[in-house]
Structure 1
Amino acid sequence: MDGLVFVQGTNTLEETAYFLTLTVRTTKPIVVTGAQRPFTALSSDAPLNLFNAIRVAASPDSHGKGVVVATNGEINSARDVTKTNTYHVQTFRSHDVGVLGYADADSIVYYRAPTRRHTAESEFRLDKIERLPRVEILYVYSGTQPGLAEAAVQLGARGLVIAGVGAGAAGNLNTECAAIAAEGRAVVVRSARVGEGRVICDSAYQEPGMVAADNLSAQKAAVLLSLALTRTSDPQETQRMFDQY
């Protein structure tokens, strides 16, 4: 086998792609694709997306790129891509970092390659894991009330991802999240709900013991945190993983 095409619905396609790029140890191309309009719909994007995904998987230039998402003629990195529209076919975008390349009529063309660790370079293994640790996402908004983080931990969450406002601020959840992190009851990761830009280790927003998600979305941060928890619950070691992946 020279490559693999993985087809699924688009709702959580980005999370599947990122999980695969963190766990499948290979340099062979793995291409994830889906469709906004089903085969039975007028002007379905399914046939062309599947055709182009096969072309991308068969391209020698796709080797070593990690898992990619091929839709609407574009090739995006599994780490960076996210669904941005409920119905339009131009939905999978990589925001400020851009596409890896294109699946055009004449050829498969790449203009850049992922620089973070993935696939063959990943340290994560699933062969001895029966169930991934539970991680919950806490979405912060202007009316967020305290208690959500404590409730998640009480329900068995070993990791919490804050989808914070602005640069990752936890708002009214900050005090309880800081206490949970300090007591080691769960690993707390700060991300932002904004959609673009990095969340950094900044003392103005981040309490000791918390982890910064860099530019990962909350849902991608949850995928990485769940895998990280199979190896460590140390915040510094978890931060190292977020810096590398």
Structure 2
Amino acid sequence: MTKKLAIIFTGGTISMKFDPELHAAIPALNADEIVSTLKNIEDIADVEVINYANLPSPHITPSIMMDVYHLVMEKLADPTIDGVIVTHGTDTMEETAYMLDLLIDSPKPVVVVGAMRNFSELGYDGASNLSAAICTAVSDRSRDKGVLVVMNNEVNAASQVTKTNTLSLDTFKSPEFGALGIVDNDEIIYYRSIVSRQVIGSKKIEEKVALIKAVAGMESDMIDFCIDSGYKGIVIEAMGRGNLPPQMVPGVKRAIEKNIPVVLVSRCNTGRVLYTYGYEGGGKQLRDMGAILGGNLPGQKARIKLMLILGRTTDYQEVKELFELNLY
């Protein structure tokens, strides 16, 4: 029996064409036009198309991500729907996918997909990527795996994948652990599974969460700005193992004293943060001060996670426990 999938189109390069007047790519294609590029798709799945939006990736906000989540949940609750696919621009794809992964607790496959080349370019990859996403979503092997990102015939976990290159078709990688599997000859082949994943039962998000990247000689002024501007949480991409210039320490201390959670992740591409160093600004001092450790999450994902947790609770200890769950 042919499975039924819901495909929610949100926009991105997969929906764009080259505009001769602007000499640049702009949103142009609707969902039906994109689906029409797929050959023999009716042999694989019965597709329900939802034209949610046609937004460039940088136009996607956390509130839009939440709106997409509610739409995905509505479709997952439909007993006739076997899986959901979300098309998305690649610049913020990993953030939306990770938010969905933290919120959705369903055995049905949920796949996020996009394109690196617009419809007017030679080698438009939108059709092949969407075809691979459909093959992934109809497979029973894709159940109970959380949210998946499918690009360039590779299947990655939303919790681990990131965009690594500005133009390559194979830009989406999981640098720490590698892909979960591949799509080959219209068949999904998995090589590994996620050991554990976290679902955060949050009904809303706290959008006032800042992301700061630490660099040599940085002081506390940016942290102070976030405190004075009413930010409810701060994520800092620290150096190496989770260390900061000593001039940033007073700002971290002030934020924590004002019950503003400070999460430390690393600006390195791989590796987790840990309380290894005890010098001024070292991870041990920051940890003892109350800073939360973000494991091996990149800054943009740590921000999404903190937004969801703060939407559920503002108790500092509870925020810390929820954030570090399964990370240490």
TM-score (norm 1): 0.91
| Structure with the greater alpha carbon radius of gyration | 2
SS of aligned partner of 1:163? strand
Higher relative contact order at CA 8 Å, sep ≥6: structure 1 or structure 2?
A: 1
Contiguous gaps of at least 5 residues in structure 1:
none
- 1:111 positional shift: 1.5
Question: Is 1:209 matched with 2:309?
Answer: no
What is the CA deviation profile of residues 50-102 of structure 1, one whole-angstrom value per residue up to 9, with x for unaligned ones?
A: 10001101110000000010001100000000000001111000002111111
Decide which of 150, 164, 174 is 2:224's aligned counterpart. Answer: 150
Instruction: Please give the residue correspondences for 1:8-157 in structure 2 after superposition, counting only pairs within 5 Å.
Output: 8-105=88-185, 107-118=187-198, 122-126=199-203, 129=204, 132-157=206-231
- 1:167 positional shift: 1.3
CA-based RMSD: 1.6
The separation in 1 between residues aligned to 2:243 and 2:95, in whole angstroms, is 23
- 1:146 positional shift: 2.4
Q: Identity of counterpart residues, as a percentage?
A: 36
Name the count of aligned residue pairs: 238
The separation in 2 between residues aligned to 1:201 and 1:184, in whole angstroms, is 23
TM-score (norm 2): 0.69
- 1:123 positional shift: 3.4
Contiguous gaps of at least 5 residues in structure 2:
1-80
Kept in 1: contact 2:200–2:309 (CA 8 A): no
SS of aligned partner of 2:131? helix
Instruction: Please give the residue correspondences for 1:165-204 in structure 2 after superposition, counting only pairs within 5 Å.
Output: 165-171=239-245, 172-181=247-256, 183-202=257-276, 204=278
The separation in 2 between residues aligned to 1:82 and 1:220, in whole angstroms, is 9
Kept in 1: contact 2:161–2:174 (CA 8 A): yes
The separation in 2 between residues aligned to 1:90 and 1:4, in whole angstroms, is 23
Question: Is 1:162 matched with 2:243?
Answer: no
Read off the aligned partner of 1:174 and give its amino acid letter.
Answer: V
- 1:151 positional shift: 0.3
SS of aligned partner of 2:189? strand
